[in-house]
Each structure stands twice: as C-alpha cells, then as structure tokens.
Amino acid sequence: MSKNVGSPLSPRRWLRSAGYAWAGVRAVYRSEANFRIEVWAAALALGLTLVLDAPLAPILLTCALVLSLELLNSAVEAVVDLISPDPHPLAKVAKDAAAGAVYVAAFFALLVGLSVLGPRLWALVSG
C-alpha cells in the first residue's frame, strides 16, 4: 500500500521539500570552497548591478545558473564517490564533465557581467 503524501500543492509538502532543498544548499556551502566563492562573487555582482543601476535580469540569471550547476556538480560528485569509491575512468569522466559544466557557465557569466557592467564601470572610473 502506498503512503499518502498529500496533494502536490499542499503548503506542508512544499515547505518540507523546500527544507530538504535548503539543507542541500547549506551542506554544499559548508563543504565546497568553490561554491562559497561563487556565492560571494554573485553577491558582489548583484551589489554592483544595483549600485550601477544596470539591468538586473541577466546578472540574476547568470548567477543562478552558475550556482545551480555547482550544486549539481556537487551532487554528481557525491553519487559517483558513493557508487565508485575506487578510481575508475568513467567516474572521472562524470566528475570532469560536471565540473566542466560549471566552468563553461562561469566563463559565460563573466562575459555577461563584462557586457552588462563593464561599460558602466568604465564610465564611472573614466569620469
């Protein structure tokens, strides 16, 4: 017999799910230096965006993309370590590909940041 988990729209179910998600974010923040760096880089980028009165949406989206991919990268690494504690070529491919996704997103986030914030920063420093 299946367990009754309630309506998918139940506030209680949503809060429970949000709690699990937040626990994952906290765990990755505590254990992954790169995630902490990226969180603070995002805070800096968002702060600069507000100070420079630049368009917020592209900066928000790129920050969300990089942070989300870093969370997924951490999940992939944890699962790979769980199922393949000894070195294996396919485990390396999985971990490297997940890390590569973060790298690609971070590179393009930098380009977005430069294109959105760069001209305003240049105007500010050049007078």
Dump the DSSP string for 23-68.
HHHHHHHHH-HHHHHHHHHHHHHHHHHHHTT--HHHHHHHHHHHHH
For the chain, which residues make up each domain, given as ranges?
33-126
Q: Choosing from 32, 38, 70, 77, which is the catalytic residue? A: 70
Instruction: Identify whether 32 is a catalytic site residue.
Output: no
14: Cβ–Cβ under 8 A, 6 or more apart, which residues? none
pLDDT in tens, 63-91: 999 999 999 999 999 999 999 999 999 99
User: What whole-number distance in Å separates Cα of residue 40 and Cα of residue 2?
Assistant: 43
pTM above 0.75, yes or no: yes
Fold type of domain 33-126: Helix Hairpins (1.10.287)
pLDDT in tens, 94-107: 999 999 999 999 99
